[in-house]
Amino acid sequence: MRIAINSYSNPMKAHLSDLPNGKNTYHSRPKKALLLGLTLFIATVTLHLLADSHSKLHSSVNKVSNSTSIRRMKDCDLFRGRWLPYQNAPYYTNETCHLIIDQQNCRKFGRPDTQFLKWRWKPDRCELPLFNAYHFLELVRGKSMAFVGDSVGRNQMDSLLCLLTRVEYPVDVSHKYTSDSKFKRWFYPNYKFTVANFWAPHLVKSMSAFAKGSSFNSLMNLYLDQVEETWSAQIADFDYVIISAGHWFFRPLMFYDNGKVVGCHRCFDKNIRDLTHYYGYKKAFKTTFSTLQNLPKYQGITFLRTFSPGHFENGSWDKGGNCPRAMPFTGREVSLADDYLEFYLIQMEEFRKAEIEGKKKGLKFIMIDTTEAMLLRPDGHPNYYGHNQDNNRTIADCVHWCLPGPIDTWNELLLQMLKMEAQKSFNKKLQKYTLW
Ligand SMILES: *[C@@H]1O[C@H](CO)[C@@H](O)[C@H](O)[C@H]1NC(C)=O
Ligand SMILES: *[C@@H]1O[C@H](CO)[C@@H](O)[C@H](O)[C@H]1NC(C)=O
Ligand SMILES: *[C@@H]1O[C@H](CO)[C@@H](O)[C@H](O)[C@H]1NC(C)=O
Ligand SMILES: *[C@@H]1O[C@H](CO)[C@@H](O)[C@H](O)[C@H]1NC(C)=O
C-alpha cells in the first residue's frame, strides 16, 4: 500500500505521489452533511434541473461578450450558483486532446459513465460565457502565466492546455528550464504565450524531515517565512500568477520560523506545541503574498484559486475511501465545514489583506473562488480511473479532477476574469481621453 507515495525519491510517480494525504479529514467530518438530504437529492434536483432548458442557457451564453453584459457581470457573483445539465459538453475528449496525463485521463482508464461531463456552472444572477480559446489566446498574446502550487494547480494548467488545443498545440519547452518532471513549461508560437507550472505543494519551502526521503504520511519541515525558491526565483517574469495550495497541509508538519522550530501539526512530540495545520496554512499564504509584493520587478496579476475540496466517502484515502458518485450535489445537501471551511476562510482573510497591501504598490490581486462550485462535484474525481497502469488501483483519487471535467470551469472563470481586467484597463484609458 505504500505504492508511489514517495515524491522525492521517485519522480516517475510524481503525480500519484502528489496525491496529498489530507483526505482522511473529509469522511469523518462532512459525511453527515454529505449524506443528509441525499435521498431528497434525486427527487428535487431532477425536477429542478429539468425545468431549466439547456438551450436557453446556450443561446444566452453566446451573446455574452459585449460590454453591456460585462458591466452586468460585475454585479454578479460568478462563484455562487449551481450546476445545470448541458448536453454540448465537453469541450474536448481524450481523443481530441493528447495532453491529458494518465492520472487524470479517466475515460482512457475505464471510467464508464459520461454524465459527469454534461454539466455547466450557472452563476445565480448571470451567465458564465463559454470558453473561447481564440479570445483567451488573444488576451494573453505575448504574455506568460504561471500556476504555483501542488498537482491540483497542474491539473488546472492541463485543463487549460486542452481547452486551447482547439486553436493551437503548445510546444513543450520544459527541458530548457529543468529536468524535473513536476515542472512543465509550454509555449504557443503563434501567440508568443508561455504557460508554466511551479510545483510547490506548500508554497513555502518544505522538505522531508527525514534524510532518507518521505513516505506519504511522514513528517515534513515547513519553513514558514521563506517561499520555495523554485518558483520565487523565476516568477518576476510572469504576467499572471495563479496561486493555490491545500491538501498537503493535512500531513504531519514541523513549523520553522526564522530558522527555529515554533510548533508543529500532528508531530506528537510533547516538547513541541501543536499549533494545528491552520497556523501553517495561514503563514504560508501570508509569506507567499508578501513575497510577491516585495519582489523587485514583479508586475504580474496574482490570482488566488481557492481551496479545492476532496470527496472521500466510506473511509479515508488510506482506508479504502473512494468517490463513486456520478452526479453533482445540489447546494442543499452539502456545505463547507470544519477543516475545509477553515482553510477557505484563512485564504479569504489573507487574500483581502494582500489585496489592500497590493493596491498601495500598484499590484493587482484577484480571487478565483472555485470552492463552492467544486464542493458540489463529488462526481468529478478520477476515483479508481486515473492511476498509472502499473499500480493496482487500490487507492482512489478523490482530490484531483478528471479531464475533461468540472475543473474546465476554472478556466472559464479565469477567462472571464481576464476579460473583466481587460475591460477595466480599457475603460481607464478611455476615461483619461474623455476627461481630457
Ligand atoms: C449586448 O448584450 C445585451 C444583452 O445580452 C443586449 O441586450 C445588447 O443589445 C447587446 N449590445 C450590443 C451592442 O450587441
Ligand atoms: C480514450 O478513451 C476511450 C474510452 O472512452 C478509449 O477506448 C481510448 O483508447 C482512449 N484514447 C486515448 C487516446 O486515450
Ligand atoms: C459504503 O460502504 C457500504 C458498505 O460497505 C456500501 O454499501 C456503500 O455502497 C458504500 N458507499 C459508497 C458511496 O461507496
Ligand atoms: C497487484 O496486486 C497483486 C495481488 O494483490 C500482486 O500480486 C501484484 O504484484 C500487484 N502488482 C503491482 C504492480 O503492485
DSSP 202-231: TSEEEEESSTT---TT--EEEEEEEE-HHH
Quote the CA–CA distance of 274 and 170 in Å, as a whole number: 46
Is the beta carbon of 63 within 6 A of some atom in ligand 1?
yes
* Residues whose beta carbon lies within 6 Å of some atom of ligand 4: 390-392
Query: What are the pLDDT digits (tens) for 191-220?
Result: 999 999 999 999 999 998 887 666 667 899
Active site annotation includes 28: no
| Partners of 254 in the β-ladder | 221, 264
Average confidence (pLDDT) over 245-258: 96
In the three-class reduction of DSSP (H, G, I as helix; E, B as strand; rest coil), residue 82 is classed as strand
Rounded mean pLDDT, 408-431: 92
Residue-wise pLDDT tens digits, 5-58: 222 222 233 333 344 443 333 333 444 344 333 333 333 333 333 333 333 334
* Residue 82 CB–ligand 2 contact under 6 Å: no
- Which pLDDT belongs to residue 67? 57
Lowest average pLDDT, out of 14-23, 246-255, 388-397, goes to 14-23
pTM: 0.82
Residue given cell 493555490 in the structure block: 244
**Cα distance between the two ends of the chain:** 69
Task: Look at 102-116, 188-202, 218-232, 388-402 and tell me which has the smallest mean pLDDT.
Answer: 388-402
Q: Which of 16, 392, 393 gets mutated to test ligand 4 (max ligand atoms within 8 A of its CB)?
A: 392
Task: Name the region of 431 (left: φ>0; alpha: ψ -120 to 50; beta: rest).
Answer: alpha
Share of the chain above pLDDT 70, in %: 80
- Model confidence band, residue 292 (pLDDT cutoffs 50, 70, 90): very high
CA of 390 to the centre of ligand 4 (A): 9
Q: Are 317 and 30 in contact (CB under 8 A)?
A: no
CA-nearest residue for atom 9, ligand 2, is 108
Higher confidence at residue 77 or residue 58? Answer: 77
Q: What is the pLDDT of residue 359?
A: 96
**pLDDT tens-digit series, residues 117-162:** 999 999 999 999 999 999 999 999 999 999 999 999 999 999 999 9
Lookup result for grid cell 499572471? 240
Task: Give the mutation target among 63, 70, 130 for probing the ligand 1 site: most ligand atoms within 8 A of CB.
Answer: 63
Q: Is 98 a catalytic residue?
A: no
d(CA 356, CA 174): 35
Stated length of the chain: 436
Q: What is the mean pLDDT of residues 259-281?
A: 96
Residue 362 φ/ψ region, left for φ over 0, alpha for ψ in the -120 to 50 degree band, beta for the rest: left
**Ligand 2 touching residue 205 (CB < 6 A):** no
The cell numbers describing 48, all together, are 429542478
Residues 348-362: what's their mean pLDDT?
97
Ligand number with the minimum distance to the CA of 4: 4
Stretch (H or E) spanning 155:
helix 151-164
Q: Report, in this order, helix, strand and coil percent for the chain, each rounded to 5.
A: 40, 15, 45
What's the mean pLDDT when you consider all of the chain?
Answer: 84
Q: What is the pLDDT of residues 339-354, one digit of tens each?
A: 999 999 999 999 999 9
Query: Is a pLDDT exceeding 60 seen at residue 417?
Result: yes
Place of cell 494548467: 157
Distance CA 259, CA 213 (A): 21
Cβ–Cβ under 8 Å, residues 357 and 293: yes
Residues 331, 345: Cα–Cα separation, whole Å: 19
Q: Which run of H or E residues covers position 123?
A: strand 119-123
| Average of per-residue pLDDT across 369-393 | 86
pLDDT, tens digit, for every residue of 94-112? 999 999 999 999 999 999 9
Distances (CA, A) of 115 to 16, 24, 118: 25, 27, 5
pLDDT score, position 36? 37
CA distance 387 to 13: 10
* Residue pair 367/307 in contact by the 8 Å Cβ criterion: no
Tell me which residue has cell 475603460. Answer: 427
Calpha distance 164→159 (Å, rounded): 9
Distance 66 CA to ligand 1 centre (A): 6
**Residue 209: what pLDDT?**
87
**379 included as an active-site residue:** no
Q: Which residue has the cell 476574469?
A: 417
Residue 79 has pLDDT above 70, yes or no: yes
In the prediction, which pLDDT does 387 show? Answer: 72
Indicate if the pLDDT at residue 377 is higher than 70: yes
Residue range 295-335, pLDDT digits in tens: 999 999 999 999 999 999 999 888 889 999 999 998 778 89
The amino acid at residue 305 is R
